[in-house]
Structure 1
């Protein structure tokens, strides 16, 4: 029997920004529960909840201080149970984040570990002695700037942190650490979660010898020094595979559960790691990377990502998405000017459904939501504050979901929202798009319904017919039918020759006449023929 997650569309919810039901300006679990009907109406199959666990929120919940507790800002464990029950009633699977590579420095484990070198958890985090001159053990940098090492005067040692200094890295060379994390994951499995999204999954294990990373090849020194190294020792270690196998063993004790891992790596190397981590039946069920979350919006890039994965992991499984809570919204990234934003939004979902694998959608994406311009005094995400204004941080994609433009804060909250709801974003509200067949929201629903109705898009073999730039063609062939999506990734009209027996399938923003498919700027279409050959090219 085919697993549910292979054909799933996963809708990411950022709890802090989805719906506030108690008026404190911060989204909560009851608010999410109330809005699940909207999510189900899109035709998605699952929700992914970003962290809602107990946390001091130095990194908006990605610094966990209790892996089995719920942050009171979001509600209670009982609220989570109610959310899960409602989601299941609506036919939605529930996936929750697991931030295992590091904890908060306020986690009891770390508070004990830092006391001395002989306590029961002394080796639960990555500790190392200073060099003779007092400097850090090696040259590893933090993703958020500065050294990845912070000196602790109590132990007179440095502890490692790949991110904020308040996010010490757990020591995965210690099997007791993995045991404790498995126990926490089991807590949520017993509460009925259907899967886990594993944050920074290739960061778990570090080089035990703490060898220096070599310099990367760059023409210009990067804006963040983290990009100046090849991180061959600080992450993506061979021992990581054994950790993933232990996690998979736990998941396999339950029916129909899955794990999806976030791979953070440079360039197309991340596609290779996705393949390594999903090959076989004993590691991750699937993986995703930042490969399609970049500014690169070319046919070659999308083709390279998909073909690279198919080549490196013929028995693995990918998940593709264009936006999430860590990157600028793709409509803003890819539209060459504001007047093209809606066209890019429509094309993007129609292109995404042509890709083989599981798909991810980030909240608000179905509205054609754009990046919010956050001013310095409005910043909440402090991880990238040292790089302002070249890097304005992640707040711009995390602003509240907009439900009704006529209501205060577009219906998100009756209180002052934690991030502002500005007019350009409120204009995309759900209420203003409902019932309009020409809305971006309607386009998303139609595209997802089209994907479900066409076995070629879930079961079909994938090839890329040769078409000239800036066109991308994705052919999916199954049971004697070829369905090819054609996408014009530019703001200039394009055309391509098609077979005389080709017909349009589904909604199209293009015209087919006399053997030519004419696509307007950011146009798209699906063309169908009988047989194994693509009708395009």
Structure 2
């Protein structure tokens, strides 16, 4: 089906942390292949693999030195082919990361580019002369701290790095760079991948005049832990040429019937930009970090979901509450529930009720929480650079917990990040088949979404309800559902009409006559039988 991605549920796998097959403490492709039946049984439609390409691993694979080969720590191309074949046998699609806005500084292209200003790759990266006083050409900042320009004595120029100094940015103003990127994608499409997730999709182009980014228009009372958030990034990224590049990518994907999802790395207008990037002829779907913060109230969720479809009726979002870059939502939102498990189950029901596509982060179906780590245990450059705040990314990337054995069944060796008791207790074996477990709730919620035309395809109509109740109707006519959520740890009661008794992945919801009791962190899916009315 050409539009299989529309409304689909994708599961993000972090290869280093999913399953180790050889005892070296690092997850790998054969390990993922071994665990694919688990994902098929969970009910997801697709698997997104974070980077597994050759890399010096300065940023855990997001610094690529060879885009057409597998890093030995993860296996071989033959292992990848076996993974694709097994996934397709199980009915799973496979999406792989594409980290194309920058390379590793150990990529052969950069080694050539930095030699001098006249070599064949001289214009393949973003180089800039210093100002007369020796300073960088402008004030752009790196996401990982400090200036976004690094001096190179070979060329007597600065090069741009939006992330680590070991991650120089490619120059997409050069058409040859675009052509190369398309051929790199074609390599994987020919091997059978079903689509791509594009890292930092709004970072490909920068202002060619190197104009300064202004200060963030939202005045800060005090400096942030990461000063990157103190600028309004209107020149260092988000350039109009980026959208034309999306259209070139889409033409290639259409040749193979492949899907795409973009990561919108933006802190100001992410919802609007998700719509721009998924307009017809561009990316199929896009996600941002809008729902991955600490906000947890009805008005917030309504504003983001409703705002997307009002602003981009022809676009398509992918919604996620967590991923490999943020604190897990069972930890972030813990104060809004009686326990991590309570919050996790409600979050699963809520997320899987949204219009759009859905992405789950490895372990969230277990109610997994962030792992407290000591400084000496960190590997993430972001976490190390900004210790102790903002919290780095290692805390969410600790290994998957499969059972109660040493190292939770992840490895027979020493895991690359520790598996601590609190996380190990939330393991697959302990929850599988256990009534009321987070895992079984997720399985039920995914199955319910798959079986509901309203949840897969139906439009959303939000209801005007007071906090902490979020309510909306999905779909029209037969099969339509009223979805209600009590986003608080305190029980409440409301009057409803035009609906039947709660069904599917409902939680702590009891309908007696026209009174619906919503317990702490309740979720209610009510079949629409007439004209829906809800009153507090």
Q: TM-score, normalised by structure 2?
A: 0.97
Preserved contact between residue 354 and residue 474 of structure 1 (Cα < 8 Å): no
Aligned-partner Cα distance in 2 for 1:53–1:534:
52
Aligned-partner Cα distance in 2 for 1:229–1:468:
35
SS at 1:474 equivalent: strand
| 1:221-300 paired onto structure 2 within 5 Å | 221-255=223-257, 257-267=258-268, 269-280=269-280, 282-300=281-299
Q: Which residue of 1 aligns with 2:93?
A: 93
Give 1:78 deviation, angstroms. Answer: 0.4
Q: Which residue of 2 aligns with 1:459?
A: 457
Q: Which residue of 2 aligns with 1:169?
A: 169
| 1:69-80 paired onto structure 2 within 5 Å | 69-80=69-80
| 1:78-227 paired onto structure 2 within 5 Å | 78-216=78-216, 217-220=218-221, 221-227=223-229
Give 1:500 deviation, angstroms. Answer: 5.8
Give 1:402 deviation, angstroms. Answer: 0.4
Aligned-partner Cα distance in 2 for 1:154–1:363:
43
Preserved contact between residue 226 and residue 390 of structure 2 (Cα < 8 Å): no
SS at 1:124 equivalent: coil
Preserved contact between residue 144 and residue 384 of structure 1 (Cα < 8 Å): no
Aligned-partner Cα distance in 2 for 1:298–1:501:
24
Give 1:477 deviation, angstroms. Answer: 1.9
Aligned-partner Cα distance in 2 for 1:411–1:516:
46
Describe the superposition over 1:369-395 as per-residue Cα deviations: whole angstroms up to 9, x where unpaired.
000001100001012322111223000
**CA distance 1:417–1:338, change in 2 (3 Å):** farther
Describe the superposition over 1:299-354 as per-residue Cα deviations: whole angstroms up to 9, x where unpaired.
11111111111011101111001110000000000110784211111101111111
Aligned-partner Cα distance in 1 for 2:339–2:514:
28
**CA distance 1:535–1:228, change in 2 (3 Å):** same
Aligned-partner Cα distance in 2 for 1:160–1:500:
59
Give 1:237 deviation, angstroms. Answer: 0.3
**CA distance 1:273–1:338, change in 2 (3 Å):** closer
Aligned-partner Cα distance in 2 for 1:374–1:81:
35
SS at 1:498 equivalent: strand
Describe the superposition over 1:485-509 as per-residue Cα deviations: whole angstroms up to 9, x where unpaired.
1111111112221006532222422
Describe the superposition over 1:194-244 as per-residue Cα deviations: whole angstroms up to 9, x where unpaired.
000000000000000110011112232222110111000000100001111
Give 1:92 deviation, angstroms. Answer: 0.1
After TM superposition, what 4+ stretches of structure 1 lie above 4 angstroms from structure 2? none
Preserved contact between residue 130 and residue 137 of structure 1 (Cα < 8 Å): yes
Task: For structure 1, list consecutive stretches of 5 or more residues without a partner in the other structure.
Answer: none
Preserved contact between residue 483 and residue 534 of structure 1 (Cα < 8 Å): no
Aligned-partner Cα distance in 2 for 1:206–1:507:
45
Give 1:479 deviation, angstroms. Answer: 3.3
SS at 2:532 equivalent: coil
1:505 and 2:513 correspond: no
**CA distance 1:333–1:501, change in 2 (3 Å):** closer
Aligned-partner Cα distance in 1 for 2:124–2:533:
58
Aligned-partner Cα distance in 2 for 1:338–1:489:
8
SS at 1:522 equivalent: strand
Q: Which residue of 1 aligns with 2:351?
A: 352
| Structure 1, 349-358 or 384-393: larger mean CA deviation | 384-393
SS at 2:434 equivalent: coil
SS at 1:96 equivalent: strand
Q: Which residue of 1 aligns with 2:419?
A: 421
| 1:486-497 paired onto structure 2 within 5 Å | 486-497=484-495
Q: Which residue of 1 aligns with 2:470?
A: 472
Aligned-partner Cα distance in 2 for 1:313–1:193:
28
Describe the superposition over 1:38-78 as per-residue Cα deviations: whole angstroms up to 9, x where unpaired.
11111100000000000000000000000001000000000
SS at 2:180 equivalent: helix
Task: For structure 2, list consecutive stretches of 5 or more residues without a partner in the other structure.
Answer: none
CA RMSD of aligned residues (A): 1.2
